[in-house]
Amino acid sequence: MDEKVVRQIVLARYYLHLARGEIRFLNETSTLAAINLLHEALETFLLSIIDTIDAQIKNKTSFEGYLDAIDTKLSEEQLPKRSVLVRFNKIRVAAKHHLVLPDREQTVRFFRDIEEFIERASKIVFDRSFDEIDLIGLIEKDEIQSVLYLALNEYQKEDYFGCLASVRKAMYLEFEKSSDIKKFSDPENSLHKGILSPWSISNAPAYARSNKYIEDHVKTPFDYIVLDHNKQNSKLLEEGIDPQAFWNVWRLTPRVYQFEDSSWIVEKDISTLNDPHQIENARYVLDAAVEILLKIQNRRSTSRYISHQNNFAFLTMKSNNWRIYDKASVDAKSQDVPTEVTFFCGMSLVPSLDQDNEHFWIASHIKKGGPWLSGYVREKDVESSFSPPEGWPDW
C-alpha cells in the first residue's frame, strides 16, 4: 500500500482512539470533542479511499461529495451506511457551529456505526481489516518487520517490557549488529584489514576491534556491541533522522544481543522493568522506531549505485615470485605474497605514482579463513584478467 494512504489510516485510527476516550465521559465538552474527533476520523479515512481509488474531487467538495465520488468509482460494491453518515455529518455541523448536542445514547450509537462503517469499507476497498493496516507492513526487511509486529502484539497484550525488548531487536538488526566485536576474539581477524575482511566491514570503533579490548572490557554478551557514537550521529543526520529520537529509543529499551544461531538474549534491567512510565515509553519507542526505520528505507530507495555485478576482474598471476604494494609505486612499502595465493580481485587499473608509464591494479585477495590481502599489484605481474568464474566464491 502507498505510504501516504497507510499514514492516513493510522491517523484515522488515532482519531477514533481519542473519540473513544471522550465518549467515556460525555459531559457537554467531551461530547463536542467526541463528535468532532469522529468526524476527523471519518473524513481522514474517506480521503485514504479517495487517494487509493483515484476518485475525482474538487477543492471544496462537501462531505456528501466525498461519498458520491467514491461510489462513482466503486463499480461493484457501494459504501455502506450512507444515510447514517449523512445524518451524523448534519449533527456534527449543528454541534460545532450551534452547540446543539445529541444525547449520550445517540453519540454512542454514532460511534459504533462509524466504527462498523470503517471496518466494512476497509474490507471493500483495501481487502483488509482496518486494524490490520499499519506502518509496520511497509518495512521491507522481513526479520525487522517480524520483530516489530511482535512488539505491537506484546503492546496490545500489555506486555510492555516485551514490547520494549522487541523494538530494541529491530533497532539492533539495523544499527547495532554491524558493531558486534565478538568476531575479534580471534586475533587473526584484527590483523587482516583487506576489503570485505571482518575489520573493514565492522562499524565498531577501531580501538574496540581487538582481542585485547575484548579481554579487558567485555564482561557480558551485551558488551560485544560497541557503537561509534560520532559515526552513528553522522549517519543519522545523513539519513535525515533526528539523532535525539534514535538515542531516546536506545535509552528507553533494554540491551539485547543476537548470537550466530539467530537466538536472542535480553537484559533484565531493573530500571526498565520497574519504570513507572513503561506504558507510554513502549508506545513512544514503537512509533519512533518505525518512523526511523521507514526513513532509512525510503532514503535508500532513492540512492543510486553502480551494479555490484561484474564490478571486479579476476586476476591470475604470472608466477609466485611477486609482491603487493601499499601504494601504486614500486618504491612503496610492500610484502611478499604467500605461495598459496594465486589470484586477486582487481577493482581498478590506475597509473603509477612514479609517472613511469607503469600501471597497478587496486586489488584484494578474499578467501574464507584468510589470508586477507589488499593493496596494489603491478600490471606486469598479472598473467590474465577476466570475469569471476561461475559460482565464485564457493563459500
Mean pLDDT of 310-315: 76
- CATH 2.30.30 assigned to 313-386: yes
User: pLDDT at position 80, please?
Assistant: 92
Cα–Cα dist 297/347, whole Å? 28
Average pLDDT for 136-158:
95
pLDDT in tens, 172-183: 999 999 999 999
- The percentage of the chain sitting over the pLDDT mark of 90, rounded to a whole number, equals 63
CA distance 351 to 26: 80
Where are the domains positioned within the chain?
A: 3-133, 140-178+225-302, 181-224, 313-386
Crossing angle (nearest 10°) for helices 229-238 and 243-252: 130
The per-residue pLDDT of the chain, averaged, comes to 89
Q: Using CA atoms, how far apart are residues 119 and 174, in angstroms rounded to an integer? A: 34
Q: Would you say residue 195 has pLDDT above 80?
A: no
Q: Which residue has the cell 584478467?
A: 385
Q: Tell the residue number behind the cell numbers 605461495, with chain if given.
A: 339
> 193: pLDDT confidence band, cut at 50, 70 and 90?
low
Q: Note the pLDDT of residue 395.
A: 38
CATH 1.20.120 fits domain 3-133: yes
Residue 105 to residue 276: CA distance in whole angstroms = 36
Q: Which helix (H) or strand (E) holds 383?
A: strand 382-386
Residue 79 has pLDDT above 80, yes or no: yes
Average pLDDT over residues 228-256: 95
pLDDT-above-70 percentage for the chain:
92
DSSP, collapsed to helix, strand or coil, labels residue 274 as coil
pLDDT band of 226, cuts 50, 70, 90: very high
Pick the most confident of 21-30, 74-83, 246-255.
246-255
> Does residue 220 carry a pLDDT above 90?
yes
Return the pLDDT at 394.
47
Which residues, listed in sequence order, are joined to residue 351 by a DSSP beta bridge? 359
Is pLDDT above 50 for 102?
Answer: yes
Cell of 22: 471522550
What digits encode the pLDDT tens for the residues 329-382? 999 999 888 877 777 888 889 999 998 989 999 988 876 666 778 889 999 888
| Kind plus residue range of the DSSP H or E element containing 350 | strand 343-351
Contacts of 312 (CB under 8 A, 6+ apart): 345, 346, 347, 388
Whole-model pTM? Answer: 0.70
Residue (of 80, 86, 88) closest to 111 by Cα position: 88
pLDDT at position 301? 80
pLDDT in tens, 12-63: 999 998 998 898 887 888 999 999 999 999 999 999 999 999 998 888 888 8
Distance CA 143, CA 150 (A): 11
pLDDT higher at 395 or 228: 228
pLDDT of residue 92: 92
